């Protein structure tokens, strides 16, 4: 066997092993019989699904369908009443928090802090935070780093939060209604920020009930209705099988 | 990571504490400049008005500091960990234990600093001494105590008393934290439940204390009394203090463990 053949065989072996390792890796996010109740009110009912890597997934459903509850469970901010939610095969904990970046629907940063202090805080705690990226995006939006968060408009505060979250090189982005309360121009900026900043091995799970603005960027959709999973499909397959857009399917499924 | 949590906690709380420390020290300085030191003047000298103003302002500032300390202690745990800011704090890659210590240690440090500020300013106001005199008197007083008690005894006693003070304060803080951790379990009226939990924990603690005291009265702790009374004077004091310190540790651990469990396994930022 020549030296060239040996190298080719080694390369092929490495490829096979990498592929096998990839297959053996636990799913990025997995729900096993996941349920959550607030008192007697069930918010999520026995969800079973996994999220693959490298996809933008729309978590879609009307208000009160359990989207926020699911994202909070993934972050460990609330605990399951039934079943499990796993990130990289582990229950939410320090390891999952290093892997996942979470954007809540409400403002959660200390509003007395200056923007540059918030950048520093993320830099201090997250090894995967890219402060140059954050500064560049803040500069593009004309948000001064010396400004205190409370002096910014609500829209700009939300953008600062999104910039902080998307400036991480996370494996999983959990974004709760990132386009919910902003104007159409800001929506476009936010969608572009999301697409432009996640790497191709990462997955974005974003919840929304405004589908038209993001439909074009979604790879997969998950429909939640009254806490239950009613659809989990790739967007291409959904369009092919139904002959309709995601928005049209959504309106049919959730018709009042 | 604990160091970073503590750094941000100090940064968040310093902006409340430092102005009130500044005010207290300013009033002390004002007392010094106007010669209104309480021990140095009498009403006949015509400075009664200034004295009354100074007493009122100083008393109000110290009272404000006490209220502020309580409010900040509760608020930092309740709002920063269990309110909307908790969405950030509990998504940081930090263990639950470090989150609790990240609040406890700065709160303890501020309480100690507040005590020192009040003690120092009050001594300056009440006595005729200047700051330099006061510091000048501290070291001879320590030397005197060392001569009387012996250096070893004095140092050990001082360490024991400081440890006891810290554990006592920590147990109060941990009681507040446990009460808030219980309160967050509710989906509504969280603060009300926290308040109820605080009263319940205090009542339970005092009941247990009484049970132990009565048990001592019934001679079930007679061996302990025999041990202490059989020792020479200073050793008996040290054994008693060390026993109290051990008790303080147990109380703090008994308050910390359920707080950790509730925040780690039952967190409910709904």
The A residues from 129 to 188 touching B (CB cutoff 8 Å) are none
pTM to 2 decimal places: 0.86
Averaged pLDDT, groups of 10, chain A, 256 residues long: 62 65 79 92 93 92 92 96 95 95 90 94 95 91 92 88 92 88 73 79 89 86 94 91 88 82
For A:8-37, CB contacts with B below 8 A are none
Q: How many C-beta atoms lie closer than 10 Å to residue B87's C-beta?
A: 21
Q: What is the pLDDT of residues A34-90, one digit of tens each?
A: 999 988 889 999 999 999 899 999 999 988 899 999 999 999 999 999 999 999 999
pLDDT score for B13: 95
**Preferred mutation among A69, A85, A94 to probe B, highest tally of B CBs within 10 A:** A94
Of B11, B94, B269, the CB nearest to A77: B269
Asked if B97 and A119 touch (Cβ cutoff 8 Å), the reply is no
Q: Cα dist. A254→A60, A78, A215, A220, A226 in Å?
A: 10, 27, 17, 18, 10
Mean pLDDT of chain B: 86
| Tens-digit pLDDT profile for residues B61-72 | 999 999 999 999
ipTM comes to 0.86
Residue A42 sits at the vertex; the CA angle it makes with A40 and A44, to the nearest 5 degrees, is: 160
> Do B94 and A124 count as a contact with CB atoms less than 8 A apart?
no
Which chain B residue is nearest to residue A165, measuring alpha carbons? B88
Q: B187 near A38, Cβ under 8 Å?
A: yes
Confidence of residue B40 (pLDDT cuts 50, 70, 90): low
Q: Work out the minimum CA distance from B187 to partner chain A, whole angstroms.
A: 7
pLDDT of amino acid B187: 84
pLDDT attached to residue B42: 52
Contact check, Cβ <8 Å, B87/A112: no
A159: left (phi over 0), alpha (psi -120 to 50) or beta: alpha
Query: B151-183 vs B96-126: helix axis angle to the nearest 10?
Result: 120
User: In the structure encoding, which two tokens stand for residue A42, read together?
Assistant: 């069930």
Residue B19 has pLDDT above 60, yes or no: yes
Chain B residues within an 8 Å CB radius of A106? 84, 87
Parallel, antiparallel, or unpaired: how do β-strands A41-51 and A29-38 relate?
antiparallel
- Find the CB nearest B90 among A39, A77, A95: A77
The answer, for A77 touching chain B at a CB cutoff of 8 Å, is: yes
Which among A163, A140, A152 has a CA at the least distance from the CA of A114? A152
Q: In the prediction, which pLDDT does A140 show?
A: 86
At B251 the pLDDT is 93
The b/e string for A115-146 (b: 16+ C-beta within 10 A; e otherwise) is bbbbbbbbebbbeebbeebbbebbeeeebeee
H or E stretch at B203 = helix B190-217
Out of A97, A106, A125, closest to residue B4 by CB: A125
B180 Cα distance to chain centroid: 18
Tokens of A58: 């729309």
- In B, which residues are within 8 Å of A125 by CB distance? 1, 4, 92-94
């Amino acid at each position: 066997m020549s030296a060239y053949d040996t190298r080719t065989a080694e390369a092929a072996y490495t490829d096979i092993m990498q592929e096998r390792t990839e297959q053996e890796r636990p799913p990025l996010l997995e729900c096993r019989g996941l349920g959550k109740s607030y008192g007697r009110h069930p918010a999520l009912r026995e969800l079973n699904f996994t999220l693959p890597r490298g996809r933008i997934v729309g978590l879609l459903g009307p208000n009160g369908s359990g989207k926020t509850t699911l994202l909070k469970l993934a972050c460990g901010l609330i605990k399951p009443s039934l079943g499990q939610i796993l990130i990289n095969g582990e229950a939410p904990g320090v390891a999952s928090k290093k892997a996942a970046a979470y954007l809540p629907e409400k403002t959660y940063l200390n509003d007395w802090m200056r923007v540059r202090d918030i950048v520093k805080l993320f830099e201090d705690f997250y090894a995967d935070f890219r402060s140059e990226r954050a500064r560049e995006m803040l500069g593009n939006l004309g948000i001064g780093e010396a400004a205190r968060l409370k002096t910014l408009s609500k829209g700009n505060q939300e953008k600062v939060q999104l910039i902080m979250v998307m400036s991480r090189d996370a494996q999983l982005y959990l974004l709760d209604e990132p386009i919910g309360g902003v104007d159409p121009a800001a929506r476009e900026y936010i969608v572009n920020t999301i697409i432009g900043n996640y790497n191709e091995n990462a997955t974005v799970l974003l919840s929304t009930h405004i589908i038209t603005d993001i439909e074009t960027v979604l790879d997969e959709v998950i429909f939640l209705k009254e806490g239950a999973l009613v659809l989990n499909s790739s967007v291409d397959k959904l369009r092919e099988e139904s002959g309709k857009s995601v928005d049209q399917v959504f309106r049919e499924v959730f018709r009042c | 990571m604990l160091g970073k949590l503590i750094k941000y906690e100090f940064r968040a709380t310093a902006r409340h504490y430092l102005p009130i420390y500044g005010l207290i020290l300013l009033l002390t300085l004002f007392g010094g400049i106007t010669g209104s030191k309480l021990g140095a003047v009498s009403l006949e000298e015509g400075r009664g008005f200034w004295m009354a103003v100074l007493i009122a302002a100083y008393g109000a500032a110290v009272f404000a500091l006490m209220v502020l300390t309580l409010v900040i202690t509760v608020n930092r745990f309740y709002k920063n960990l269990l309110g909307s800011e908790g969405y950030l704090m509990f998504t940081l890659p930090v263990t639950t234990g470090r989150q609790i210590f990240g609040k406890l240690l700065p709160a303890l440090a501020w309480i100690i600093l507040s005590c020192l500020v009040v003690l120092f300013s009050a001594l300056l106001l009440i006595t005729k001494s200047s700051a330099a005199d006061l510091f000048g008197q501290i070291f001879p007083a320590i030397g005197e105590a060392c001569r009387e008690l012996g250096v070893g005894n004095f140092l050990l006693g001082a360490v024991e008393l400081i440890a006891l003070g810290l554990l006592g304060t920590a147990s109060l803080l941990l009681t507040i934290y446990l009460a808030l951790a219980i309160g967050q379990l509710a989906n509504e009226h969280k603060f009300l439940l926290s308040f109820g939990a605080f009263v319940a924990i205090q009542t339970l603690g005092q009941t247990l204390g009484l049970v132990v005291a009565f048990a001592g009265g019934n001679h079930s702790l007679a061996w302990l009394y025999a041990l202490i009374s059989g020792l020479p004077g200073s050793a008996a004091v040290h054994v008693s203090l060390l026993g109290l310190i051990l008790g303080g540790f147990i109380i703090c651990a008994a308050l910390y463990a359920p707080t950790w469990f509730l925040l780690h396994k039952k967190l409910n930022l709904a």
